[in-house]
A and B are shown apart, each in its own frame.
Chain A
Amino acid sequence: MLKETASQTAGPYVHIGLALELAGLPPRDEEIGPQLAGDAAKGEPIELVGRVIDGNGDTVRDALLEAWQADADGEYQCQFDLAAPFNSFGRSAATAHNDGEWRFTTIKPGAVALADGRRMAPHVNLAIFARGINIQLQTRLYFDDETDANAACPILNAIESPTRRQTLIATRETREGRTCYRFDIRLQGEGETVFFDF
């Protein structure tokens, strides 16, 4: 069996390749951006916002995030199509331009079924790429107003430490009349976010 090509950091200039406008480059006709859901998408419109914080407590201002989530019915829309009201995939970046705050415009995902019929609590898969990160960090964002579903989620419960499970729960707040969930990702140290291998 062949070995997988080895990973390397995305480096400090990842934006020129994957988030052109934030690098100061003109965007192409179609870009993969931070809007997963348009106005016509079914489901509750929400924003996901947060920071990436390093082991010193400082905000990382050169991270790229990729989001992957189900639609309101808990189904993945694998065919990426900017003409569709909802896409399961999106990209956002935390840079000096947005004061190190990444943001996705989306809808709240539905619960996703496991192969055995059990359901996972609503969640968004996030991958974090940045200078200093040699292979992307993979985490999940859960919602703090899904207490019962979270308590029953097989994946959250696979985390041995109940204290650490809390690092995956985003906090609901209202900002400028819009519902958003805040999710700070702590790469290292106190309150370190859980990262997955899968």
Chain B
Amino acid sequence: MAQPIQNRYEFTYLFDVAMGNPNGDPDAGNMPRLDYQTNHGLVTDVCLKRKVRNYVDLVRADLGVEDGLNIYVREKGVLNRENEQAYKALGLKPDSKLPKDEAKARELTAWMCANFFDIRAFGAVMTTEVNCGQVRGPVQLTFAKSIEEVHPQEIAITRMAVTNEKDAEKERTIGRKHILRYGLYRCDGFISAHLAERTGFSDDDLALLWKALVNMFDHDRSAARGIMSARKLIVFKHASKLGDAPAPVLFDAIDVKRVTEGPANSFKDYAVAIDRAAIPAGVEPTEIL
């Protein structure tokens, strides 16, 4: 196994959406998620993780590293089939409890970590009936929030065909789309070197994670999403494993401001400033994007 990362990281990730829906709210008929106290838009942590997983799954073949970059929680994936592989590889019988033998249980979890990128990064609860235990991953994402208020619009669209025979008289059906004209979102995240030690999350994995964040929207196009783009990825690397500055101090050092009047239409309407003077010694900010 490659050496786990030796530094703590925080990162701030900015992405935007134009004429699309970044993350629908199942409670609100798939409208873009809103923070109803402030009218800012939200994108959940799990939505972004899904895209990271899909991206890694996509580029695995191109990287020529088939091993160790499997994705556990798959769209159209089979969770327990993956767990079975671990049992098979170690010659154990699938069981709903962790093997009594603790060494075997650890072996099982280690095998899962070694083979699956998303388990090394995000962790996984593998206490399904084919049980591989539970691991906490080093990468912790938070809800992304829009910089300003967003205003969802409902667009009615028509279709010139019908689905059911009995509607043939109607000749057409009406559908609805929800879009935001524009929204710039900010997500802050954390990476713990100590938890990386437990799953074996390495520098190569970290580089792949950054790559995923930079490129993942380019492989996630759909009728609902509109145009989504990664705009900025600022990484704070601490000199030590424990860290050299409080996280809020670092996040506060990044200021995203409007530079134009009226409703924002593009990323050009914003300026991103890094207050380097506010960043304590021992922490190095890098603009990956």
User: Do chains A and B interact in one complex?
Assistant: no
Binding site for B on A (CB under 8 A): none
